[in-house]
A and B are shown apart, each in its own frame.
Chain A
Amino acid sequence: SQKIEQNSEALNIQEGKTATLTCNYTNYSPAYLQWYRQDPGRGPVFLLLIRENEKEKRKERLKVTFDTTLKQSLFHITASQPADSATYLCALPRGYNQGGKLIFGQGTELSVKP
C-alpha cells in the first residue's frame, strides 16, 4: 500500500528565509499530490495541487515541485513570515478509482522566528 513520509522533525527557520518541506511516497505514482496547512486544533486548509504531468506549481509565495522519478514532492515557502508557522501536510489519492479518498503524511511542523 502507498506510504507517505514527511520530515518528522520540526523545521525552525528565520523570518525572510525560504522553508523547504519534503514529502516522499513509496509506491505507485499518484495522479496528483496535494499540500495542506493545518493550525493547532483546526482542520486542514487546502493550499496547492500538482498533477503527475506537472513539474512545478506556484501560488504567491508557495512553490511545489513533483518528481515522479524520485517519488518526491518539495514544498517551498519563500520570504517566510511568522504567520506561516503551522503544520504542513501532503496528501495523495489512495489509489486509482478510489473516489477521491486521500492518504495523508504525518505532517511537518514549521516554526518561523521573527
Chain B
Amino acid sequence: GAVVSQHPSRVICKSGTSVKIECRSLDFQATTMFWYRQFPKQSLMLMATSNEGSKATYEQGVEKDKFLINHASLTLSTLTVTSAHPEDSSFYICSARNLRSPQETQYFGPGTRLLVL
C-alpha cells in the first residue's frame, strides 16, 4: 500500500524558534498533501492544502505567515512553524493523495509531536 512518512516524529524546541516538518510519499506521487493539527482528545483539524508547484491554501483562522508550507516536488511537502510558541504544541499530521487513486483516497503519515517550551 501507499506509504507516507513524516520527519521528525517528535521535536522539542524553545519558544521563538522555527521548526520544519517534512512529509514524504514514499512509493507514489502526491499532487496534493493536506496538513492537519490534532490537540489531545480532539479531532483532526485541517490546517492547509498543499498542491505541488503552487501556493498552499489555508483554512480559516490558520495564519499562513506562521505556518509556511512548501510543496516543491510530487513526493515532498514541508510545514515550517515559525516563531513557535507553547500554544503551537500539538500533533501535526500530513496526508497525501495518490495521483492515480480516486479523489477520496488519502494516506496519512504517522504524525509529528511538537512541544514548544
Name the segment of A11-19, A74-82, A96-104 touching the other chain: A96-104
> Which residues from B are CB-within-8-Å of A42?
110-111
Is the contact region of chain B dominated by helix, strand, or loop, or is it mixed? strand
A32 to B103, CA, bound (A): 11
Query: Which residue of chain A has its CB nearest to the CB of B111?
Result: A43
Q: In the complex, are the beta carbons of B103 and A104 less than 8 A apart?
A: no
A76-114 interface bits toward B, Cβ cutoff 8 Å, 1 = contact, 0 = none: 000000000000010001100001111111110000000
With contact pairs A99-B32, A99-B49, A101-B34 given, residues A44 and B104 touching in the complex (Cβ less than 8 Å)? no
Q: In the complex, are the beta carbons of B103 and A103 less than 8 A apart?
A: no
A15 to B103, CA, bound (A): 36
Q: In the complex, are the beta carbons of B104 and A89 less than 8 A apart?
A: no
A49 to B102, CA, bound (A): 12
A42 to B95, CA, bound (A): 13
Q: In the complex, are the beta carbons of A106 and B43 less than 8 A apart?
A: yes
Q: In the complex, are the beta carbons of A45 and B43 less than 8 A apart?
A: no
Q: Which bucket holds chain A's interface residue count?
A: 20 to 34
| A46 interfacial by beta-carbon distance below 8 Å | yes
Q: In the complex, are the beta carbons of B43 and A104 less than 8 A apart?
A: yes
Q: In the complex, are the beta carbons of A45 and B113 less than 8 A apart?
A: no
| B24 interfacial by beta-carbon distance below 8 Å | no
Q: How far is the CB of B82 from chain A (nearest CB, A)?
A: 23
| B93 interfacial by beta-carbon distance below 8 Å | yes
CB within 8 Å of A: which B39-55 residues: 41-46, 49
Given A41-B91, A104-B43, output 5 extra A-B contacts at Cβ < 8 Å.
Answer: A31-B104, A43-B110, A44-B93, A99-B103, A100-B97
